[in-house]
Amino acid sequence: MTRLSKKIQVSIAGISGALIITGCGIVNREAARPTSAPTNAVTRLRSASSPAASYADGVYTATGQYGGLPSSITVTATLSDNIITDVEVTPHATNPTSLDYQESFADAVPAEVVGRPIDEVRVGRLAGSSSTPDGFNAALQQIREQARR
Amino acid sequence: MFTFSFNAIGTQWEIETYEPLARGLQQRIFRRIKAFDITYSRFRPDSLVSQIAAAPEGGCFDFPDDSFALFDLYDRLHRATAGAVDPLVGRDLELLGYDRTYSLTPASDLVRANAHARGRATWSKDIIRDGTSIVTRHPLVIDVGAAGKGYLVDIVSEILREDGFTQFVVDGSGDIRHAGESSLRVGLEHPFDPRLAIGIANLQDRALCASAVNKRAWGDGLHHVLDARTGVPVQDVVATWVVADTAAIADGLATALFFTRADHLAAVFRFSYVRMFADGRAEISPNFDGKLFS
């Protein structure tokens, strides 16, 4: 088993895209689309191989930055016969903002809630259960009617 | 205030603006929503996702440009929820009866077991995505229900912005995008009684999306929020509300919060939230602009 471990700035979509696309033999397509971070490692990997080349089986690990925050994430992909058979992702909140969010969310303790009549709560809009697709409601109505007979 | 109401993608929409929407703009919005529906609706036999579901050997399918951001968001949701949010949950929704004809009749255990005999299809393993192209090897049912409507609310908001509107509310039945200086008070509807609100949110220049299990429930324990890893509807969380910069993210996270702890999602996304459990308790994130009634 080959084990590659690289700390690289690379988009996650870029990694899996490039590996898999080569795996199905679609090589003329530009796999790595413009993303927020350069995909240097993947590009190097691809250009070093001929179109028919295949990747060695093994477990590949890469850490990348993503999002506007940004945060980093580690992706471990298991490659077998040019197909990714397993992907494991470990997010790391290295950014202080992300850490703040994570810590403040940990404080949220569930408490009993009491419903108040909507006409007593002056609101401009409502968000929740009444948002139901029409077709679904109609079908449900039919089922209810059939059940009644 | 002017309100432009219409029905689209099987649900009620309202757009609130200070100036009425010109007829041409209304038509543009309709055309854009229709284009979205023709691509992503698994309820339309002529849609692109229906073609993918019907392709016996799979194939390569080109999606429009708008798919890039949507599928990218699904990639992030899929990873952040360790696979619980997965567009390929579509097959399980069909098997449970949430299908094109709204049969609302679950398939037999045998049929369901056979459907997954070769393992459950997942977004990370069975779909090869290259930007806006998707390669499949067998029929796959893509369902963008977790974030699709929110994304469409963003798209409609963008059309309004392009037309010069700076203050508006786009409400796609509970997926709400607000733009402007004065905040909007939004009631958080009680998941078991639409006459009640469990709290309020103050929404300004952001999006709020809600998800509730009873919203589309059709039988004992059967509803539309499935854990993609098991194909079984979730039971503990009964409703979620998320505020984020875009409706697509808020919508996707409203689904993700049924399966995943908020602090895990906060490593990847910026949002605030409320979620309610089956026992009548609810949690509110400290950064949520609003309150719960107690």
Q: Where are the domains of chain A?
A: 2-94
Could you give the ipTM of this predicted complex? 0.74
pLDDT at A44 over 50: no
Q: How many angstroms away from the CA of A81 is the closest CA of chain B?
A: 14
Residues A88-116, mean pLDDT to the nearest whole number: 63
What pLDDT does A25 receive? 39
Does A48 lie at the interface with B, CB-CB under 8 angstroms?
no
Which A residues, 91 through 130, put their C-beta within 8 Å of a C-beta on chain B? 91-93, 97-98, 101-118, 121-130
A126 contacts in B (CB within 8 Å)? 174, 186-187, 189, 197
CB contacts, 8 Å: A118 with chain B = 187, 189, 194-197
Domain range summary for chain B, segments of one domain joined by +: 43-136
Topology of domain B43-136, CATH: T-fold (1.10.3980)
- Which chain A residue lies closest to B13 (C-alpha atoms)? A131
Tell me which chain B residues have a C-beta less than 8 angstroms from the C-beta of A130: 173-174, 189, 194
Please tell me which of the candidates A93, A124, A128 has its beta carbon nearest to residue B267. Answer: A93
Interface contact A13, partner B, CB < 8 A: yes
Say what the pLDDT of residue A28 is. 35
User: Which residues in chain B have Cβ-Cβ distances shorter than 8 Å to A110?
Assistant: 277, 281-283
User: Of the segments A7-16, A74-83, B106-115, B284-293, which one has the largest average pLDDT value?
Assistant: B284-293
Selection from A72, A68, A76, A73 nearest residue A3 by Cα: A76
How distant is the Cα of A112 from the closest Cα of chain B, in angstroms?
A: 4
CA A41 to chain B, closest CA, distance in angstroms equals: 18
pLDDT for the residue numbered B232: 53
pLDDT given at position A49: 36
pLDDT at B166: 97
Express as a percent the part of chain A with pLDDT over 90: 0
How many A-B residue pairs are in contact by the CB < 8 A criterion? 224
Task: Output phi, psi for A137, to 5 deg.
Answer: -60, -45
Distance from CA of B163 to the nearest CA of A (A): 24
pTM: 0.69
SS3 content of chain A, % helix, strand, coil (to 5): 35, 30, 40
Extract the residue ranges of chain B whose pLDDT is less than 70: 90-119, 214-235
Residues B152-183: tens digit of each pLDDT: 999 999 999 999 999 999 999 889 999 999 99
The C-alpha of A136 sits at a distance from chain B's nearest C-alpha, in angstroms, of 7
What residues in A contact B176, CB-CB < 8 Å? 125, 127
Please tell me which of A12-26, A32-46, B193-207 the model is most confident about, judged by mean pLDDT. Answer: B193-207
pLDDT at residue B253, as a whole number: 95
Cα–Cα distances in angstroms (integers) from residue A4 to residues A22, A24, A45, A61, A90, in the given order: 18, 22, 12, 6, 16
> Contact A125/B184, CB-based, under 8 Å?
yes
Average pLDDT, chain A: 51
pLDDT of A18 strictly over 50: no
Q: Are the Cβ atoms of B277 and A110 closer than 8 angstroms?
A: yes
